[in-house]
Structure 1
Amino acid sequence: MIYEGVLTKMQTENGNPIQYYLVFESSFLNVNQLIGKEVEIAFQGYQCLNCGKKKKIFRQGFCYDCFMSSAAVGDWIMNPELSTAHLDVEDRDLEYEKKVQLQPHIVYLALSSEIKVGVTRKTQVPTRWIDQGAVEAIPIVEVPNRYLAGITEVALKNHFSDKTNWQKMLKNEVPSVDIIKERQRLKELIPKEVQEFYDVNKNELYELHYPVQQYPKKVTSLNLDKSPNYSGKLSGIKGQYLIFEDGTVFNIRTFEGYVVKISL
């Protein structure tokens, strides 16, 4: 069978294990069903996720022009503390920024390679943690806007990483840590403006289970720009990565906006 279309991040459904779907314009594929099978990926071209033009992808599925102008990729996305919609101050498009920034956000601890702190919109729970390959996650606070979440993350970054070591995550090198205990000691580290949203007794732990038959001992990233054709046996899926038997890993998120042909 052949599936062809523009790559966008895999859609997920939490379960034991998590279900993964690649969604194309006229078809979709439950990727879990490919585990243990030979899969061929062939690069066909580019298509910007914003303007739809067949222009080289610059970053996050966008061509250069769209990345520099679209409100969907403003600096406040990666740095929530730069959010200004709560002040009625525009970055690129105030209406869009109000819609995204002025809604409940969660600051959380997640365990993927080590404990990390992060921010996500409440509507993205538990999707955000699945995309990171976290095996456990726990909300710290729920706040009414992105700015408050951002300043909380900044305060906690002095004590926790804010990045995932993707190689450790894919090799399943996860330390044994009690993240409930870690959460319970955070009261004094949270900014004053956010103290009222913290409840030491609210410890809602999420555990996430990935469809992986075998974790690699060593990982090599597949880069479609350098290797436009690849074939291998799929051994699992974790985060937004396809993991192959030979240790090759393919990060779907990195190659959003790339047009591919997938042959089974």
Structure 2
Amino acid sequence: MQYQGVLTKMQTEIGNPIQYYLVFEDSFLSINQLLNKEIEINFVGYQCLNCSKKKKIFRQGFCYDCFYSSAAVGDWIMRPELSTAHLGIADRDLEYEQKAQLQPHIVYLALSSEIKVGVTRKTQVPTRWIDQGATQAIAVVEVPNRYLAGITEVALKNHYADKTNWRKMLQCTAESCDLILEKSKVESLIPVEVKDYFYSQKNDVFELKYPVLKYPAKVASLNLDKTPTFQGKLTGIKGQYLIFENGTVFNVRGSEGYIVTINV
């Protein structure tokens, strides 16, 4: 059977294990059902997720022009401490930025490749943790806007990683840790203006199980621009990656905006 469409990040559903879906305009594909089966991925072309034009993807599923003009990919996305909507100051589109920034945000510790600190909108829990391939996560603070979350993350980056090592995450080599203990160390490290938002009474550790039959010893990333056709046996799904028997891994989110056919 063949499926065709524009890649966007896999949709997920919490479960044991997590359920993954590729959603296209006219169809969807349950990725969990493809485990231990041969699949073929063919690169067809590009389609910008913002303007829908058949233009080469620059970053995050956007063409060059849209990446530098759309409010959806402003610098405050990757660097929340740059958020200014709480001051009534626009970056690209104040109305959009107020909706995105002026809502509850969570600063968390997660175990993926190692313990890392991160920021997400409260509505994106636990999706954000799943997308990063975290096996455990714990909320540290809940703040009313993205700026406060950003300055908290900046303060904690001096003590914890803020990026996931995707190779280690996919090989599942992270050492076990006590996230409750780590959280107890954080209260003295967060900015003064955030201390009232510290989760002092909540110590719930979120556990995440992924549909992986076998973790690879070594990994090699599939780049559709360089390898437009790939075939292999799917042996796992973690984060936003498909893991194949030969150690090839495919970052679906990193290929957003690519038009593909998938034969199963």
TM-score tier after normalising by the smaller chain length: over 0.9
Q: State yes or no: 1:91 paired with 2:124.
A: no
SS in 2 for 1:260: strand
Under a length normalisation based on structure 1, what TM-score does the superposition of the two structures give?
0.99
Note the residue ranges of structure 1 that are not aligned, 5 or more in a row: none
User: Are 2:142 and 2:199, in contact at CA under 8 Å, matched by a contact in 1?
Assistant: no
Q: State yes or no: 1:179 paired with 2:186.
A: no
How far apart, in 2, do the equivalents of 1:96 and 1:248 lie? Answer: 38
Question: What residue number does 2:109 align with?
Answer: 109
Match for 2:236: what amino acid?
Answer: G
How far apart, in 1, do the equivalents of 2:204 and 2:144 lie? Answer: 19
Deviation at 1:262, TM superposition (A): 0.1
- Structure 2 matches for 1:1-264, cutoff 5 A? 1-264=1-264
How far apart, in 2, do the equivalents of 1:180 and 1:77 lie? Answer: 28
User: Are 2:139 and 2:199, in contact at CA under 8 Å, matched by a contact in 1?
Assistant: no
Count how many residue pairs are aligned between Structure 1 and Structure 2.
264
How far apart, in 1, do the equivalents of 2:199 and 2:176 lie? Answer: 24
Deviation at 1:202, TM superposition (A): 1.3
Which runs of at least 4 in structure 1 moved beyond 2 Å after TM superposition?
none
User: Are 2:232 and 2:246, in contact at CA under 8 Å, matched by a contact in 1?
Assistant: yes
Deviation at 1:201, TM superposition (A): 2.9
Match for 2:160: what amino acid?
Answer: F
How far apart, in 1, do the equivalents of 2:200 and 2:158 lie? Answer: 20
1:30-81 superposed Cα distances (whole Å, 9 cap, x missing partner)? 0000000000000000000000000000000000000000000000000000
Deviation at 1:103, TM superposition (A): 0.2
How far apart, in 2, do the equivalents of 1:8 and 1:249 lie? Answer: 16
User: Are 2:110 and 2:116, in contact at CA under 8 Å, matched by a contact in 1?
Assistant: yes
How far apart, in 1, do the equivalents of 2:186 and 2:212 lie? Answer: 33
SS in 2 for 1:185: helix
State the identity as a percent. Answer: 74
Under a length normalisation based on structure 2, what TM-score does the superposition of the two structures give?
0.99
SS in 2 for 1:159: coil
SS in 2 for 1:134: coil
RMSD over aligned Cα, in angstroms? Answer: 0.5
How far apart, in 2, do the equivalents of 1:230 and 1:39 lie? Answer: 8
